[in-house]
Amino acid sequence: MVFVYALQNDQNEEIYVGISKHPAQRLKEHNSGKNRYTKAYMPWRICYLEEQPDYTQARHREKYLKTSAGKSFLKKKLK
């Protein structure tokens, strides 16, 4: 199984979307500054998690969630 995750922080309204087989471990990496983009807005928390059967489908879903329609979907889901 592969997970598509969305991260959010308290500093701004930014939502970061990614893929991982181990989302909790990946969150630790984001919060330890290993990702250049996310280290500026730490700490992050997982606000959305979706399980996908394989990497191809997870990548397809990640691409959708990064579009404006996907971001809108996430914002509605999180309210």
Q: Which domain holds residue 57?
A: 2-78
CATH number for the domain spanning 62: value is 3.40.1440
What tokens appear for 48 in the block? 């959305």
Q: 65: burial class by Cβ within 10 Å (0-12, 13-18, 19+)? A: buried
Above 90 in pLDDT, residue 79? no
Q: How many domains does the chain have?
A: 1
* Residue 72, phi-psi category: left (phi > 0), alpha (psi -120 to 50), beta (remainder): alpha
Among residues 2, 18, 3, 1, which one has the least CA distance to residue 49? 3
Our separate counts of H helices and E strands in the chain read 3, 3
Q: What is the pTM of this model?
A: 0.91
pLDDT in tens, 19-58: 999 999 999 999 998 888 888 889 999 999 999 999 999 9
Q: Is 41 helix (H, G, I), strand (E, B) or coil?
A: helix
